[in-house]
């Protein structure tokens, strides 16, 4: 039996990608919290694993040739785990290319745009005084997120999963649809996304991965006061590093 993978993690859409994948793949793992609200992602030990100071990251003690390997960036981690296990990564190059396209779509589109939507719709008022700037950002990114849901909805028409069969592309995207209400999305406008989202959420592996570390998620950003202010400074780059 393989030794547990160390998963450096916080319960967010990017973190859920990997906890869900590990659960679905049946891989043992150790959950190592990285509290992004207090700046643990900037600690030197973590930076040695994830030089972009972002979680998630993994350390696999049973890497290539039996030697340990660390991997950062959630998309790269998903691809590595797919290759390692031979699961959820297609059969042959043609299927793998199709899956890679949608993993990259999430990494370059859905995740960043939905993240900016969260920022301008929920947090920007605490750090930007010009309401016009906030309104422009909120409208701009909400519209783009809405467009991306439309892209995903078209792709899912007639399919149970993004690339036909369950794959790492589904793990990549599902967590970013979880907070659809905060993105200003009406999920009923995208019936194929809604059906897929519910289909994914009914899976036991997805449920276990989603619940991983749920007790860690303190509502610092939602609780008024000094803790909220400090968390926002860390998360939104107001503190020099």
Q: For residue range 86-107, list pLDDT tens digits in order.
A: 999 999 999 999 999 999 999 9
| Per-residue pLDDT tens over the stretch 151-171 | 999 999 999 999 999 999 999
Q: Which residue has the higher pLDDT, 33 or 222?
A: 33
- The reported pTM is 0.89
Q: What percent of the chain has pLDDT over 90?
A: 77
Which residue is it, tokens 């719709």? Answer: 121
C-alpha torsion 143→113→141→37, nearest 10: 140
CA distance 148 to 163: 16
Kindly state the helix (H) or strand (E) to which residue 70 belongs, with its residue range: strand 69-72
Q: Phi/psi of residue 119, each to 5°?
A: -60, -50
Ordered domains of the chain (ranges, CATH): 5-87+211-235 (3.40.30.10), 93-202 (1.20.1050.10)
Categorize the per-residue pLDDT at 223 as very low, low, confident or very high, splitting at 50, 70 and 90: low
In terms of C-beta density within 10 A (0-12 exposed, 13-18 middle, 19 or more buried), how is residue 39 classed? middle
- Cα dihedral across residues 128, 131, 134, 137: positive or negative: negative
CA distance 51 to 76: 14
pLDDT for the residue numbered 241: 41
């Amino acid at each position: 039996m393989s030794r547990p993978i160390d998963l450096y993690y916080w319960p967010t859409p990017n973190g859920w990608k990997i906890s869900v994948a590990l659960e679905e793949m049946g891989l043992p793992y150790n959950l190592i919290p990285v509290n992004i609200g207090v700046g643990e992602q900037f600690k030197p030990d973590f930076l040695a694993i994830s030089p972009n100071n972002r979680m998630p990251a993994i350390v696999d003690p049973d890497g290539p040739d039996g030697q340990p390997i660390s991997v950062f960036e959630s998309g790269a981690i998903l691809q590595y785990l797919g290759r390692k296990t031979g699961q959820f990564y297609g059969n042959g190059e043609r299927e793998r290319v199709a899956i890679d396209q949608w993993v990259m779509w999430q990494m370059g589109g859905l995740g960043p745009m939905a993240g900016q939507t969260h920022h301008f719709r929920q947090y920007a008022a605490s750090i930007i005084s010009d309401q016009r700037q906030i309104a422009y950002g909120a409208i701009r990114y909400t519209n783009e997120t809405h467009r991306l849901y439309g892209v995903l909805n078209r792709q899912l028409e007639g399919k149970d999963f993004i690339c036909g069969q369950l794959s790492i592309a589904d793990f990549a995207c599902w967590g970013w649809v979880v907070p659809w209400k905060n993105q200003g999305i009406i999920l009923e406008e995208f019936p194929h996304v809604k059906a897929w989202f519910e289909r994914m959420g009914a899976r036991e592996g997805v449920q276990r991965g989603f619940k991983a570390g749920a007790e860690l998620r303190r509502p610092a950003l939602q609780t008024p006061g000094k803790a909220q202010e400090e968390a926002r400074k860390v998360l939104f780059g107001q503190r020099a590093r």
